Structure 1
């Protein structure tokens, strides 16, 4: 099967530039209006920061044979039923002829509060996937429905605080050795690896990008399993397989 990766590297650089540009523009606009959110929240609450990555997914869908599928990005059509809760709001859904093809999440974290945010993102990612797969098992997406693609993309600021080794309190039992002395950047990479290895997500990508990448869109990954190349290849393959049925 021949896959079209749609020049994802160039698109990713543009997505990173858009990410940082949107954050700065949103914060500047709030400062100008005199309605700035506390701390860095102004850049976060404006939303739309990860739109460039949604555009990559949309290009891959169209390039690999599902151009007529419903690509859902508007909030009113982004909910799926759950098992432990009534519904879950996703960042992108792909539905083709009544079949759930893919459900995708695009998340980001910029300093300085890496600790609490890492735990929150981890719990959210794990819980979301477990809820969906249980609902899938129980027939929430139709009897004998093909297994959908679940994707998770995480972009984290590449800065001294995200790259500094972190200590952990362990008064009763030792922490998993993989996390000992690991920075938050490394912890996110471990999280993404294990989300895939444990079957919670079809693919999970981790990108680290410095704040000044708004000029050139540069980013890096820590491992092949969590690279954007692996993610787009797995996603394009799933789309092509659905299109070939």
Structure 2
């Protein structure tokens, strides 16, 4: 599966736009809809096509289905707060191997994008600190992933002003569109190791209904995201299985 992800991502993108447009129920009833079957298992929310795709990718490399948790079942303790409900968590043999968040942004880019940034930075800082403090012992360092699907339209391509009453804003944010700002968030979280990998996907409500999407940054492609996730998880499962077999 991981060598042929283009059509799989297209299905998840199409599911997002169809569900946002109120057509998700029809897709859940379609026997030919892979995105519909995946999302139905998870409840059929807008980003569940991606959650189902990640689950399929993990199962394809040998992760048992009952080790892949979603939503309420993916609730984990934190360090700065008591708990957090992740979108997906991989818990294998009582060890935390990975967590993933799936986010989207299709309107109200101003305040909502700031909220997304604060949320992502806070969530990732919290779980990494929880790991460092031994909350998940004897788990290895968990793989942390962040996926953003953003609408590519006139609003998201507009350039908002910046306020500088006291200090200058980072030059990279000046003259940056909302799309640019989200791309900066994703790549900086990767570079600062707040996440192991991030995926940044653009689409719009017209061609997105046909599954069309584009990825503006090679470092943030879904294929890299998936390969990084499976390499980490598969490696940890092999280590644990080998350790069990030697006892």
TM-score band w.r.t. shorter chain = 0.7 to 0.9
Residue 238 (str. 1) matches residue 232 (str. 2): yes
Structure 2 match to 1:8? 5
SS at match of 1:25: coil
Aligned length: 223
Unmatched 5+ stretches in structure 1: 30-45
Q: Note the 1:167-206 alignment, pairs <5 A.
A: 167-206=161-200
* Superposition misfits of 4+ residues, deviation over 4 angstroms: 26-29
Residue 127 (str. 1) matches residue 122 (str. 2): yes
Structure 2 match to 1:55? 52
CA deviations on 1:170-214 (whole Å, 9 max, x unpaired) are: 121111111111101111001000011001001111111111134
Unmatched 5+ stretches in structure 2: 27-42, 240-247
Structure 2 match to 1:98? 94
Question: What is the alpha-carbon distance in structure 1 between the residues aligned to residue 53 and residue 102 of structure 2?
Answer: 11
Which stretch shifts more, 119-128 or 210-219? 210-219
CA deviations on 1:103-123 (whole Å, 9 max, x unpaired) are: 110011111x10100000000
Question: What is the alpha-carbon distance in structure 2 between the residues aligned to residue 48 and residue 103 of structure 1?
Answer: 19
Structure of higher RCO (CA pairs closer than 8 Å, 6+ residues apart): 1
Structure 1 residue 154: Cα displacement? 0.6
SS at match of 1:88: strand
Equivalent position to 1:109, from 102, 105, 111: 105
Structure 1 residue 153: Cα displacement? 0.4
Equivalent position to 1:23, from 6, 20, 23: 20
Question: What is the alpha-carbon distance in structure 1 between the residues aligned to residue 117 and residue 14 of structure 2?
Answer: 25
TM-score with structure 1 length normalisation?
0.86
CA deviations on 1:66-124 (whole Å, 9 max, x unpaired) are: 2355111242x12111111100110111110001011110011111x101000000000
CA deviations on 1:117-149 (whole Å, 9 max, x unpaired) are: 000000000000111111111111014x21111
Q: Is the 8 A contact 2:71 2:85 kept in 1?
A: no
Q: Is the 8 A contact 1:6 1:59 kept in 2?
A: no
Q: Is the 8 A contact 2:86 2:100 kept in 1?
A: yes
TM-score with structure 2 length normalisation?
0.85
Equivalent position to 2:113, from 111, 115, 118: 118
Residue 64 (str. 1) matches residue 61 (str. 2): yes
